[in-house]
Amino acid sequence: AGALDFRDAIRLVRTRGELMGRAGTARPGTMAAVIGLDSDAVIEVCEAAGDGIVVPANYNAPGQIVISGDTQAVGMARERALAAGAKRALPLNVSGAFHSPLMAEAREGLGLALEGVEVRDPRFPVVANAAARPVTQAGKAKELLVEQLTSPVRWVECVESMRATQPDAWLEVGPGKVLTGLMRRIDRSTVVHAIGGPEDLEAIQALMEGGDDA
């Protein structure tokens, strides 16, 4: 969106990954996917998990929420989720408790890294996953880049925010089709295309020729 120079963006992505890796080593944790409970129920099982930290980390789709935190607390939350009626509570193969308070050290480090980076107002609104609302100002963009390390990814709310603009179609750009699958879980009527390589660019051309507003 033009908020960052390309080189600055690449450097920050690398720095962010390194900081998250170090935070995961300093404060080990894990994550798990809870399937079949609504958000209120997941919050309740996290709050009742006992010692340690465990919080909702990714609101991926209705009935699909990832939790994150201390390993023992996540294990207890998984047990409580199954007892509360979850269809599954699957441990995830991750190297840290991402999007949780256990990433506080990484959040602080990224904030320091951003101090020397010029962040401009985006040329068009960008929906931030930590806030689930469009961001148009450089200061807020910078703040949310740091905040998202310890905040949940509010994907369902992000989709609702973007749907308010009434797009005709959606594009997922990058490897894989995870977001495409989540989009269809949120709204089966959604027209969404995954663009993972050059061969997929034909889909974009077809959309443009058809006049779709993606």
Q: Which two tokens stand for residue 212?
A: 């779709």
pLDDT of 214 strictly over 60 = no
CATH number at residue 80: 3.30.70.250
Domain that holds residue 52: 29-95
Q: Which of 123, 147, 164 is the last residue of a domain?
A: 164
Whether residue 116 contacts residue 20, with contact meaning beta carbons closer than 8 Å, is answered with no
Residue 32's Cβ-side half-sphere holds a number of Cα atoms within 13 Å equal to 27
pLDDT confidence of 200, banded at 50, 70, 90?
Answer: confident
Can you state the angle between helices 104-114 and 6-26, rounded to 10 degrees? 150
CA dist 27 and 73 (Å) reads: 13
Residues 78-130 have pLDDT tens digits of 999 999 999 999 999 999 999 999 999 999 999 999 998 999 999 999 999 99
> In terms of domains, do 52 and 37 share one?
yes
Contacts (Cβ under 8 Å, ≥6 apart) of 130: 144, 147, 148, 151, 152, 153, 154
> In terms of domains, do 86 and 44 share one?
yes
> In terms of domains, do 62 and 16 share one?
no
